[in-house]
């Protein structure tokens, strides 16, 4: 299908009726629904669907830079680009396709991209939806140049939640984090679980799986990851929400970004080398 700006979108369905919608704009997932048709991802009512503006919601991919630490635009250029469908992707282990609906996308740098970031790469993204309704994003990034390059990456996942004040994130306790609200100063998490009562913008370092508990909806999201040591936790809260043109003033209550990412230690690829990172999102449904 195509959106109103003529950009192609691919919809994946599983046999139980769950679905996921992927846009070629940014290779971005814009919707992930349960088999009851409930939306699991947040997209702002003010989102702008016109490239090169990134879309506020779903799962934008931040690459090759996270945030504004570097010479590139905020969160890099991958989320602003039109990706193509990869008709002939190199094989992945069968676990990436068995029992799944999936689509392969590809991003290569344009002439313009090479001027601002002079590294030739191929970024292959496989989005899969399993019979259980799990969403998987497998990224393969290959250096096809003759010199090494380094990058950061984040799957900037906007989870849809009922009320930010009633949400708890587990799996990050005792970890160190970089606080984006304090020039990336390093702190250690002291609490048992993370709860929210003001703006949060952090990069937790070297975590394993993370769970988001949405008490009101009795839903738990589980984030599993491979090759993605860090986890970004972001909620803009009231003041920042008002400052963002493509975000409703009150919408911060219904979203929470928790990203699988590789940020603190950038990934370096030698010529010909490939990196793989995998994110798996699942949920325990409300009963």
Contact footprint for ligand BG6 (CB under 6 A): 54, 67, 74-75, 156, 180, 201, 232, 234
Instruction: Give ∠ CA 91-93-99 in degrees, rounded to 5.
Output: 105
Can you read off the two tokens belonging to residue 147? 């010199």
CB of 281 to ligand BG6, least distance (A): 17
DSSP string, 11-56: EEE-TTS-EEEEETBTTEEEEEE-TT--B-B-B-TT---STTSPPS
Cβ proximity to ligand BG6, 28 vs 139, nearer residue: 28
CB of 29 to ligand BG6, least distance (A): 15
CB of 139 to ligand BG6, least distance (A): 18
Cβ proximity to ligand BG6, 5 vs 74, nearer residue: 74
CB of 95 to ligand BG6, least distance (A): 29
DSSP string, 99-158: TEEEEEEEE---HHHHHHS---EEEEEEEEEETT--EEEEEEEEE-SSS-EEEEEEE--E
The answer to whether 240 and 255 have CB atoms below 8 angstroms apart is: no
- Rounded CA-CA distance 226/249 in Å is 35
Cβ proximity to ligand BG6, 59 vs 129, nearer residue: 59
Can you read off the two tokens belonging to residue 107? 């991003």
Cβ proximity to ligand BG6, 54 vs 109, nearer residue: 54
- Residue 204: how many other CB atoms lie within 10 Å: 25
Instruction: Tell me which DSSP letter residue 204 carries.
Output: E
Cβ proximity to ligand BG6, 134 vs 234, nearer residue: 234
CB of 35 to ligand BG6, least distance (A): 30
- Rounded CA-CA distance 77/114 in Å is 11
CB of 74 to ligand BG6, least distance (A): 4
Cβ proximity to ligand BG6, 81 vs 156, nearer residue: 156
User: SS3 for 97?
Assistant: coil
CB of 67 to ligand BG6, least distance (A): 5
- Rounded CA-CA distance 258/65 in Å is 17
Cβ proximity to ligand BG6, 58 vs 171, nearer residue: 58
């Amino acid at each position: 299908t195509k959106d109103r700006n003529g950009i192609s979108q691919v919809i994946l369905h599983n046999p139980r009726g769950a679905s996921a919608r992927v846009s070629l704009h940014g290779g971005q997932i814009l919707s992930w629904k349960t088999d009851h048709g409930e939306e699991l991802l947040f997209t702002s009512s003010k989102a702008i669907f016109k490239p090169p503006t990134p879309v506020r919601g779903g799962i934008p991919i931040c690459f090759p830079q996270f945030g504004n630490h570097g010479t590139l635009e905020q969160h890099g250029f991958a989320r602003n680009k039109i990706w193509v469908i990869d008709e002939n992707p190199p094989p992945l282990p069968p676990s990436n396709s068995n029992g799944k609906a999936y689509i392969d996308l590809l991003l290569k740098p344009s002439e313009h991209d090479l001027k601002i970031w002079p590294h030739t790469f191929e970024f292959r993204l496989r989005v899969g939806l399993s019979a259980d309704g799990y969403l998987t994003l497998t990224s393969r990034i290959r250096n096809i140049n003759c010199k090494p390059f380094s990058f950061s990456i984040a799957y900037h996942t906007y989870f849809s939640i009922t009320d930010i004040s009633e949400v708890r994130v587990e799996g990050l306790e005792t970890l160190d984090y970089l606080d984006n609200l304090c020039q990336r100063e390093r702190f250690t998490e002291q609490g048992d679980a993370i709860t929210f009562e003001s703006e949060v913008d952090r990069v937790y370092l070297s975590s394993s799986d993370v769970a988001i508990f949405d008490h009101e909806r009795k839903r738990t999201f589980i984030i599993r990851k491979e090759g993605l040591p860090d986890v970004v936790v972001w909620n803009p809260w009231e003041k920042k929400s008002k400052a963002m043109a493509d975000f409703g003033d009150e919408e911060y209550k219904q979203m929470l970004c928790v990203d699988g990412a590789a940020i603190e230690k950038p990934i370096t690829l030698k010529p010909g080398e490939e990196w793989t990172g995998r994110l798996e999102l699942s949920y325990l449904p409300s009963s």
